Amino acid sequence: MNDRRRGHHGVPAARLRGIAPTIFTRMSALAARTGAVNLGQGFPDTDGPPSVIARAVAALQGGSNQYAPGPGQPALRRAIARHQQRHYGLELDPETQVVVTTGCTEAIAAAVLGLVDPGDEVVVLEPYYDSYVAMLQMAGAVRRPVTLRAPDFRLDPAELRAAVTPRTRFLLVNSPHNPTGTVLTLAERTAIADLAREHDLVVITDEVYEHLTFDGTPHIPLATLPGMAERTLTLSSAGKSYSFTGWKIGWATGPAHLVGAVLAAKQWLTFTSGAPLQPAVAHALEHEPDFPGALARDLQRRRDLLCAGLAGAGLPTRIPAGTYFALTDITHLGWPDGESFCLELPARAGVVAIPAQSFYDDREAGRQLVRWAFCKDDEVLEEGVRRLAGADLTYHAEATR
């Protein structure tokens, strides 16, 4: 008798089988349960601009409480198109080339479900954001990871090229890159674009950390490279740029046929996205254009605070050029892997971090990497670092559970 006929024993469906619960939820639950300082999941302690919250409140009270249009409210679509124009010189028709989604995570889901056929090969940078893997499996795609290797986490153009086969149809890219903090260089971007044009690939690019780069490192969207606008679907959101990760307002932009495919899937996932939050995000994009840049400057300071503190606690990081995250290689502490270290860390130090190993197919490449978030308030970072500096972080066999 197969699983299905045994009723509830056949769950979850094959398309979800083997996919562990998201590590972010697991580790935030661990932080809540143990009262540990949460340097794990990437969400800020401080909310975004008050004027944007006020706009959401006004929308809630002003009757913006029924379904938004499927592709998103026109004012938000126009604001997103203008944002892409203002920052990157990309010209988009808000009617056909912009779709609003329930966070970038839904944009990823709808892009994969709307574009990728079973058996299609998708080249993806690893470490990868965990939802990529879940969605590719749900779509029946074959993933071809290309590893950004420690200690520099750079993209090797030769490895990228070697991952492309006659069955490859998509490159799924993320820059600024979570969890490494890598921001693609001109040479890396060029390698991606050359390959995409040569093999007629569609590029799906997750750029949610587009504004969060440091030390003058530029973020250049792949869609702006020659010949790329017509083959690139760009995904982003208000969550990271405006410190509203819980609002779940994201978007996909690009050529009408790719955006149309996202909408084709999105309409069956969430139908439409949060109506009162859309005018507020439009307000953010139009009237708080300087917020993301100011956030990035402050994050750079907090990056330095955390990375210096971690180095002082014997946990040196590579200094990230973007995102909210820094990685430490913990090999010298003797743990079997980063996960065992992170599961013990609340007891040892009262701190939660994210093991990066589940973001790799090449488990060896990520086995000893631990991710810390620096989007937290100063006193949270200081307390986390103080606890880590005062703790014994070396492995003792008897202590493992």
* Residues at the contact surface with ligand GLN, assessed by CB under 6 A: 22, 24, 41-42, 178
The pair of three-digit structure tokens given for residue 388, joined into one six-digit string? 């880590």
- The distance of closest approach from Cβ of residue 96 to ligand GLN in the complex, given in angstroms and rounded to an integer, is 29
- Rank residues 97 and 358 by Cβ distance to ligand GLN and give the closer one: 358
What are the phi and psi torsion angles at 370 (to 5°)? -125, 135
The pair of three-digit structure tokens given for residue 270, joined into one six-digit string? 């969430």
Quickly list H helices, 270-330: 277-287, 291-312
What are the phi and psi torsion angles at 205 (to 5°)? -125, 120
In the three-class reduction of DSSP (H, G, I as helix; E, B as strand; rest coil), residue 322 is classed as: strand
Pairing of strands 202-206, 232-237: parallel
- The distance of closest approach from Cβ of residue 22 to ligand GLN in the complex, given in angstroms and rounded to an integer, is 6
- Rank residues 64 and 241 by Cβ distance to ligand GLN and give the closer one: 241
- The distance of closest approach from Cβ of residue 27 to ligand GLN in the complex, given in angstroms and rounded to an integer, is 9
Laid out side by side, the sheet with 354-355 consists of 325-329, 369-373, 354-355
CA distance 305 to 153: 22
- Rank residues 44 and 346 by Cβ distance to ligand GLN and give the closer one: 44
CA distances from 251 to 106, 264, 326 (A): 9, 14, 26
Q: Is 96 exposed, middle or buried (0-12, 13-18, 19+ CB in 10 A)?
A: middle
- Rank residues 22 and 34 by Cβ distance to ligand GLN and give the closer one: 22
- Rank residues 102 and 178 by Cβ distance to ligand GLN and give the closer one: 178
- The distance of closest approach from Cβ of residue 24 to ligand GLN in the complex, given in angstroms and rounded to an integer, is 3
Polymer length in residues for the chain: 401
The pair of three-digit structure tokens given for residue 267, joined into one six-digit string? 């309409």
CA distance 364 to 389: 27
Q: Is 303 exposed, middle or buried (0-12, 13-18, 19+ CB in 10 A)?
A: buried
- Rank residues 56 and 352 by Cβ distance to ligand GLN and give the closer one: 352
CA distances from 342 to 25, 323, 336 (A): 14, 21, 11
- The distance of closest approach from Cβ of residue 88 to ligand GLN in the complex, given in angstroms and rounded to an integer, is 22
- The distance of closest approach from Cβ of residue 379 to ligand GLN in the complex, given in angstroms and rounded to an integer, is 20
- The distance of closest approach from Cβ of residue 263 to ligand GLN in the complex, given in angstroms and rounded to an integer, is 23
Pairing of strands 369-373, 351-352: unpaired
Sequence-ordered list of residues with C-beta below 8 angstroms from that of 302, at least 6 positions apart, any chain = 374, 375, 376, 378, 381
- The distance of closest approach from Cβ of residue 326 to ligand GLN in the complex, given in angstroms and rounded to an integer, is 12
- The distance of closest approach from Cβ of residue 284 to ligand GLN in the complex, given in angstroms and rounded to an integer, is 19
Pairing of strands 98-101, 142-147: unpaired
- Rank residues 22 and 190 by Cβ distance to ligand GLN and give the closer one: 22
CA distance 268 to 238: 22
- Rank residues 195 and 372 by Cβ distance to ligand GLN and give the closer one: 372
- Rank residues 41 and 182 by Cβ distance to ligand GLN and give the closer one: 41
- Rank residues 22 and 340 by Cβ distance to ligand GLN and give the closer one: 22
- The distance of closest approach from Cβ of residue 150 to ligand GLN in the complex, given in angstroms and rounded to an integer, is 18
